[in-house]
Amino acid sequence: MQRIATSSQFVRSVFAALIFGVALSGCAANMAATGRDGPDLSVVSQEATRFNVERQLGSPDELQQQANGDWVAVYDVEPRTKPNLARAAGHGTLDLFTFGLWEVVGGPLEVAHARRVLVTARYDQSGKLLQMTSKPKPIL
């Protein structure tokens, strides 16, 4: 009879640990599962105007007029990221097996995954986009 009570306690303990792990697995797994809703850099084309680009990227952080009359604008954006269910499942599993301690590592990893991007756009005097480049923003 004692053996049945012990196995029942074990099952309850395992169930409580699973509930605890699932409750803690939220931040990194959720960020990976949902992605981020930012500007879609792929829709900005060479025929775009400054108005259309700023509608997608917002106001520029820097704006300079060149000697030939062209304008150079620099935008600091957080780009759109797609949901990744495999990465989310990995975070959730690691959260479960480490009783939530994985969040100390997984959260910053997900933040770093969606690094901000510096987009540089060059416009002519009429506001037509001539060239656009993007590069990851330095961490420091």
pLDDT tens-digit series, residues 62-103: 999 999 999 999 999 887 777 888 888 888 888 888 888 888
CA distances from 60 to 41, 55, 73, 128, 138 (A): 15, 11, 6, 15, 18
At residue 120 the predicted structure's pLDDT band, cuts being 50, 70 and 90, is very high
> How far does CA 56 lie from the centroid of its chain?
17
Work out the mean pLDDT of the chain and round it to a whole number.
79
What kind and span of H or E run contains 98? Answer: none
User: 134 near 119, Cβ under 8 Å?
Assistant: yes
- Of the pLDDT bands very low, low, confident and very high (cuts 50, 70, 90), residue 3 is low
Distance CA 140, CA 55 (A): 28
Residue 81's alpha-carbon distances to 95, 103, 106, 116, 130, in angstroms, are 22, 20, 17, 11, 26
Confidence label for 136 from pLDDT (cuts 50, 70 and 90): confident
Chain-centroid distance of CA 138 in Å reads 16
Please state, in angstroms and rounded to a whole number, the distance separating the CA atoms of residues 22 and 29.
Answer: 10
User: By mean pLDDT, which of 29-38, 53-62, 65-74, 121-130 is the weakest?
Assistant: 29-38
